[in-house]
Structure 1
């Protein structure tokens, strides 16, 4: 007679191994960069009355063309992601999701193929409940068929929301859905909203050791809205919660502070520098959400600044550590290149969100720099090398109101 207890145990560990593989799918070894529809277009279904906010096939293909033709792809922007409100309100007779027939007349495989022809990557959205956050069909009870559908369509990135379900269901559903995604054998970035709902909807502490094993990135704070105050609140959250978040963050698994609000006339030029600089220092995903024709010249210069993108895409993937100095927050990030595989380079972002300019003195040796041959200091925004310093020297910096100074120090 077979030993059924051993069989059950073996099946459990096989299943567990299958789910655990989700994290190590080889994807997003640096944080994903691209564009997502929600922040600007939201549930843009009324295309006749509001054509400028229409979420449709034409829009998605236009973003692909912009990335391909205007240098964004070379800077690292590659994912184009459709968020909520893309489907019909009912599944087909076989239980499969159906794209809105008017707004996406050629279907999602057509869009995926077009995006892939540009050597870019395609992302989509679902929710683990019966319905999505905007009441379109969700994936509860359909995890396998939806995972298979997304794989057949050629999806490279899947954002999975967590509206309308309880804490225990969330803690199980994200693991199980990730398992089905893995079993499709199509590599798909798995973006989870799991910790946000646990902390801010169910008022519990997220289980980051488990979340980081099963998701490639995860939302852990409120949605950004198009305002400077929202950006400041997000930055403050990551400053306050650094010690609880940084240990689970790195290649293949990222904290996600939500989208960049460039192209929305929401920020001054200096505020835009803070927004993208802190995200780059955090090794956060850089996902735009805007009408790409409305990106201002200074915003585009920031997005295509390859020295800034090198900080954002550094292969070490270290989340910068914040230090509060009077009214300035100094973010310090060890990064490549290393000298002799011993001494890393460091990026320093001095962020001033106050209403007046501030002057501080920074001594690099207080923040881990110890190359006795010294460092060469580069200003990331001007793209100029400023001077060489010893690791014991001090640097005096004046940061204008609501602005940032961003340096990288390379070991000599």
Structure 2
């Protein structure tokens, strides 16, 4: 009997025998073979440079070190979260006399190498931000005309992940800048995950069609839609975008290169438990990066259990890296279907089904799983991903009837 949803407790132990992702062109740095997991400052802390007037949203050394401590002490590292990324607004307003970027001397008094060393001492990885223009989106120094020295600076500081924005430049420059900066990053010979905003600016600022084959050849992950804000409405709009653009985006997605729907806002006190469950589940089904943006001290017990649900994480970190395909079962219900490991006899995949209900009340749906790719005549076992409990066996002839509560369910 095959398995509908069966996951190993440690996603890193899964093995790929036959990865059918031939259409994906991979960046030749060997990184991000599964979607990155970690924490990023922007979604919750935003610019965070006014620590005197807004100490609760202060982007400083103390905050970053505290996130590393949370990952190390509270089970996030064991669950796979490893990157801690400082977004915009970390630097002084001017470069140093040597032309290098300078961390804000009040908020980061010991410098970025000190932070990187602390994070690395915990077995975690460090990320930073820049922009391909002369200034960043928040008007701090950008990297234009400094690609070489900035790449070397980041490498010398011990950076493992770089998020690169694309504000304030023209289309033609965007189409060369990300390639050139990536070249300089590779020249440092330090393994640095390269996160690009290239396709977003091409499509939504310059109103052109991104060349995803080129983006996927030069970046490890890429933003292709608007920033998430701390609201359920924003999460819904992002999910709808990936639903509508599935046929385009799924072609350029897999080990080494990922579509990035932006940060998880779980833990920011704006989502209900059901809404948090939906965002986490859909992102796992998409094989999206799982980058938290929140005050780690304010995550509830439920949110922590959700973020560390190893069944969900195994789906998102599956080595095949296949984006779930969306199907509309009704105006209110979307069924997301994802093929993944383990396989029976190298022939039949396991599958996960996520039912998302955006109606204002519970909704009952019936569907035949065999209509969505199941092929094993031996049947399948069904498990509830949230509880880890076995539910039933099904055959290819069976229909499942499910009461889907408002804001989602998962099998």
TM range (shorter): over 0.9
Tell whether the 8 Å contact from 2:26 to 2:257 is kept in structure 1 after alignment. Answer: no
1:74 equivalent in structure 2:
78
2:149 to 130, 139, 145: 145
Equivalent runs, 1:207-218 vs 2, <5 Å: 207-218=211-222
Q: Which residue of 1 aligns with 2:185?
A: 181
Is residue 352 from structure 1 mapped to residue 360 from structure 2 by the alignment? no
Alignment correspondent of 2:337: 332
Corresponding residue for residue 302 of structure 2: 298
1:54 corresponds to 2:49: no
Instruction: Give 1:105's aligned residue.
Output: 109
Deviations 1:120-159 (A, max 9, x none): 0000000000000000000000000000000000000000
Shift of 1:250: 0.4
2:369 to 347, 364, 373: 364
Which residue number in structure 1 is paired with residue 99 of structure 2?
A: 95
**1:392 shift after superposition:** 2.0
- Residue 397 of structure 1 and its aligned partner are, at CA, apart by 0.6
RMSD of aligned residue pairs (Cα, Å): 0.9
Q: What whole-Å deviation, never above 9, does each CA across 1:243-301 have from its counterpart, x for those lacking one? A: 00000000110000000001111111011111110000000001001110111111111
Q: d(CA) in 1 for partners of 2:402 and 2:95?
A: 59
Post-superposition offset of 1:22: 8.0
Query: Is 2:322 aligned against 1:322?
Result: no
> Whole-Å Cα distance in 1 between the matches of residues 299 and 383 of structure 2?
27
Distance 1:85 1:300 in 2: 28
What SS is found at the alignment partner of 1:104? coil
Are the counterparts in 2 of residues 374 and 391 from structure 1 also a CA contact under 8 Å?
yes
TM-score, normalization: structure 1? Answer: 0.93
Instruction: Give secondary structure in 1 for the equivalent of 2:314.
Output: helix
Query: Which residue is 1:6 aligned to?
Result: none
User: How far apart are 1:356 and its partner, in Å?
Assistant: 2.1
- Among 334, 339, 348, the alignment partner of 1:343 is 348
Contact 2:357 2:404 in 1 (8 A): yes
Q: Give the one of 277, 282, 289 matched to 1:278.
A: 282
* 1:367-382 → structure 2 map (5 Å cutoff): 367-382=372-387
On the 8 A contact 2:26/2:256 being kept in 1, the answer is no
CA distance in 2, matches of 1:126, 1:31: 21
Structure 1's consecutive aligned runs of 4 or more residues displaced over 3 angstroms after TM superposition are none
1:157-185 CA-to-partner distances (Å, cap 9, x unmatched) read 00000000000000000000000000100
Q: Which residue of 2 aligns with 1:387?
A: 392
After TM superposition, list the pairs within 5 Å mapping 1:170-249 onto structure 2: 170-249=174-253
Could you tell me how far 1:337 is from its partner in structure 2? 0.4
- Rounded Cα–Cα distance in structure 2 between residues aligned with 1:59 and 1:335: 37
Match of 2:273 in 1: 269
User: Is 1:404 matched up with 2:404?
Assistant: no
**Pair 1:77–1:385, CA change in 2 (3 A):** same
Equivalent residues in 2 for 1:5-24 (5 A)? 23-24=27-28
Structure 2: unaligned runs, 5 residues or longer: 1-24
Secondary structure, aligned partner of 1:383: coil
**Cα distance, 1:50 vs. partner?**
1.2
SS at match of 1:255: strand
Q: Is the 8 A contact 1:22 1:178 kept in 2?
A: no
C-alpha separation in 1, matches of 2:167 and 2:359: 35
CA contact (8 A) 1:22 1:182 kept: no
The answer to whether the 8 A contact 1:22-1:179 is kept is no
Aligned length: 386
Measured in 2, the distance between the counterparts of 1:277 and 1:263 equals 15
Deviations 1:28-85 (A, max 9, x none): 1110000000011111111122111110000000000000000000111000000000
